[in-house]
Amino acid sequence: MITTKSAIDSAVLGRAVLEIRAFQAGDDVPREEKRFLQEHDPCYAVCKVPVEDLAAIHQLEDNGFRFIETQLKLSLKMKSYDASKYPYSYVPVEAEDLETVLGIAGTIFLNDRFSIDPFINERFAGKAAGERYRRYVMKSFEAPDECVYKMVNNATKEIVGFGTHRHTTQDEAMMFIGGIVSNYQKAGLGPISDFLTINNLRREGVKKAYGHVSARNYAIMNLEIAGLGFKVIDSHIVLRKVYE
């Protein structure tokens, strides 16, 4: 059981948010809580546990942790798509584009664990999730091993979407967050964005990519698993505990 402080989540909530990793059934939760309460005075702690590990899940529940989401990890072997007929480009975000992309990131996500958490919505008036994603995009823009791309309408030059990823090895990448401007989400741009993203990863030398999706996000699961051929490689239960 390893407990670390999440810099971004802590900044968003204005008080320490802790991530519990490598939790195993039998770990002494009360003793660890006593230590990190004294050290960090957190408002929130989160722990991801393999869905198969019922003993660990039940032990966390017995110690006051509550279910918040099921998260799937997906993998994709790179393929190529003919996207020449689509009037869109997928290119790196420049400094002058950043505020536009941050604005998109701050408004389009509805199925993440911050957006659905009643504690966070009540305490922070529904604004925390958007600010959290803005900060994650900013982190990707500043990190040397991460990338932020924009999807641009070639005719109007409007930024209609974005995506972020990190190169984890020479030929593998982790896909983080991305999406389409709210006004265009029902216009069929989602699959086009994915085609452009995958083609771009191939250009960057990526042979295999990974990503995560909430099991409540049916539209994305259907698109990525049924439509694009992503494979589910594991799933985790995410539990959290609030400290007043």
Around Cβ 39, how many Cβ atoms within 10 Å? 12
In the chain, how many domains are there? Answer: 2
Handedness of CA 239, 108, 73, 148 (dihedral sign): negative
Q: Are residues 139 and 175 in the same domain?
A: yes
Final residue before a domain boundary, out of 70, 98, 116: 70
Q: Of 70, 86, 104, which residue constitutes the final position of a domain?
A: 70
Tell whether the model's pLDDT for residue 121 goes beyond 90. Answer: no
What mean pLDDT is reported for the chain? 94
Q: Where are the beta strands (DSSP E) in the chain?
A: 2-5, 17-21, 44-50, 66-77, 88-92, 146-153, 159-169, 172-180, 208-214, 231-242
CATH number at residue 213: 3.40.630.30
* Predicted pLDDT of residue 111: 85
Percentage with pLDDT > 70 across the chain:
99
In a domain, 203, yes or no: yes
Give the pLDDT confidence score for residue 188 in this predicted structure: 86
What's the token pair of residue 60?
């966390």
Collect all residues with Cβ–Cβ distance below 8 Å to 91 and sequence separation of at least 6.
149, 150, 152
What confidence score (pLDDT) does residue 46 get?
97
Residues 18 and 64 in one domain: yes
Q: Look at residue 17 and tell me if it is in a domain.
A: yes
Residues 50 and 152 occupy one common structural domain: no
Tokens 């039940």 sit at which residue?
58
**Residues 9 and 54 grouped into a single domain:** yes
Please report, for the chain, how many H helices and E strands are present, in that order: 9, 10
In angstroms, the CA 54 to CA 213 distance is 21
Q: Residues 243, 37: contact at Cβ < 8 Å? A: yes
Tokens of 43: 């408002």
Instruction: Give tens-digit pLDDT for 85-102.
Output: 999 999 999 999 999 999
Same domain assignment for residues 82 and 127: yes
- Residue 185: the pLDDT is 83
Q: Is 203 exposed, middle or buried (0-12, 13-18, 19+ CB in 10 A)?
A: exposed
Note whether 228 and 137 are same-domain residues. yes
Among the three residues 44, 70, 96, which one is the final residue of a domain in this structure? 70
* Segment among 59-73, 113-127, 159-173, 227-241 with least mean pLDDT: 113-127
Identify the domain containing residue 158 by its residue range: 75-234
Model confidence at 84: pLDDT above 80: yes
- Assign 221 a pLDDT band (cuts: 50, 70, 90): very high
Q: What is the pLDDT of residue 186?
A: 82
Residues 145 and 49 in one domain: no
Bridge partners of 241? 45
